[in-house]
Amino acid sequence: MRVSALAVLLAIAACAGPSPRFDLDARELGFDREEVAGAGFMHAVYRARLTAPANRLHVYLEGDGTPWIGGRHAALDPTPRSPVALRLMTRDPGPALLLGRPCYHGHHADAGCGPALWTDARYSEAVVASMARALEAVRPPGARLTLIGHSGGGTLAMLLAERVAGVDAVVTIAGNLDVAAWTRRHDYEPLAASLDPSARAPLPPHIRQIHFAGERDREVPPQLVAAAARRQPGARFELRPGFDHACCWLRDWPGLLASTVASPESASLRAAYLPPITRVESDAPSR
């Protein structure tokens, strides 16, 4: 029986762990990997091949991946096994890249890395500072940045926005915007070594914010996202009926993305892809 080359690669990646699987997914989706130095850590960056220079760059930030195995043991490699942000980037028509975290994507054995950097300290000053340095290194001269984060990537989007030059928009998808409230909701240990967007001053008003939440999301309930968004002056909160933490962001992403920007191109994308939006200005319905 013949086995395709892709099937062989998939089998090898499945045995090798989440980092090689992520790289294989990225290659199959049309993204190239490069390495960028941050502040004390190396970062994997994935970007579309043959991306033309532009005056705006969309920066995708993946979720927390797998910090823990079975809720008891820290993972050896926290790299996401089912990346959402990577797949969202395939439906983005503009220049975009995905910025990896310290110690993810095969860097878990690097100097300075250890389980704390993807468990208790996953949003720590060391993590954010290194990502900020790496982001400044990959930003095209003069380009404006839109930070787009899924789940814990939304946490990092908020923390990076306050310190990286050129950021003028933040989009979160099922974002963990109030870390303390999230740990209380799930009865988790507090992430004492992490920064919390909700414990910091609101982002400056020139940074546009839109925070999407799924009506059926049990991981980051929409009530938490709505409450955190209300503390950000001028932020938009939009509840997506029927969506949960992973579904159905990829299906509707072109239109949802188009709803965050204002241009003739985005208007046509919105008309083509976007179902009616339920806009919520107050708390999401309690459940």
pLDDT in tens, 193-244: 999 999 999 999 999 999 999 999 999 999 999 999 999 999 999 999 999 9
Average pLDDT of the residues in 1-25: 64
On whether the CB atoms of residues 207 and 171 are closer than 8 A, the answer is no
Taking the mean position of all CA atoms in its chain, how far away is CA 157? 7
Neighbouring CB atoms inside 10 A of 54's CB total 13
Peptide bond into 103 cis (omega under 30): no
Edge-to-edge strand list for the sheet holding 31-37: 31-37, 42-48, 96-99, 56-61, 144-150, 167-173, 208-214, 236-240, 278-279
Average pLDDT of the residues in 90-113: 96
Burial of 114 from C-beta contacts in 10 A (0-12 / 13-18 / 19+): middle
- pLDDT of residue 262 exceeding 70: no
- Which pLDDT does position 259 carry in this prediction? 85
Kindly state the tokens that stand for 76: 């050896």
- Which pLDDT does position 48 carry in this prediction? 87
Of the ranges 44-48, 57-61, 281-285, which one carries the lowest mean pLDDT score?
Answer: 281-285
- Which pLDDT does position 260 carry in this prediction? 81
Q: Are strands 56-61 and 96-99 parallel, antiparallel or unpaired?
A: parallel
On whether the CB atoms of residues 211 and 277 are closer than 8 A, the answer is no
pLDDT band at 52 (very low <50, low <70, confident <90, very high): low
- Which pLDDT does position 71 carry in this prediction? 74
Of the ranges 58-67, 137-146, 212-221, 256-265, which one carries the lowest mean pLDDT score?
Answer: 256-265
* Torsion sign over Cα 189, 224, 194, 175: positive
DSSP state at residue 63: -
pLDDT band at 70 (very low <50, low <70, confident <90, very high): confident
Average model confidence (pLDDT) across the chain: 87
Measured CA to CA, the distance from residue 267 to residue 274 in angstroms comes to: 10
Who's near 198: CB < 8 A, 6+ residues apart? Answer: 177, 178, 179, 180, 181, 228, 231
Superfamily of domain 32-279: Alpha/Beta hydrolase fold, catalytic domain (3.40.50.1820)
- Which pLDDT does position 50 carry in this prediction? 61
Higher pLDDT, 1 or 87: 87
89-112 per-residue burial string, b: 16 or more CB within 10 A, e: under 16: bebbebbbbbbbbbbbbbbbeeee
pLDDT band at 266 (very low <50, low <70, confident <90, very high): very low
Closest CA to 221 of 254, 185, 269, 193: 185
pLDDT band at 72 (very low <50, low <70, confident <90, very high): confident
What are the structural domain ranges in the chain? 32-279
On whether the CB atoms of residues 246 and 263 are closer than 8 A, the answer is no
Burial of 168 from C-beta contacts in 10 A (0-12 / 13-18 / 19+): middle
On whether the CB atoms of residues 118 and 65 are closer than 8 A, the answer is yes
- Which pLDDT does position 268 carry in this prediction? 37
- pLDDT of residue 80 exceeding 90: yes
- pLDDT of residue 251 exceeding 70: yes
Higher pLDDT, 227 or 3: 227
pTM summary value: 0.86
Collapsing DSSP to helix, strand or coil, 99 comes out as: strand
Of the ranges 44-58, 103-117, 208-222, which one carries the lowest mean pLDDT score?
Answer: 44-58
Collapsing DSSP to helix, strand or coil, 15 comes out as: helix
- Which pLDDT does position 49 carry in this prediction? 73
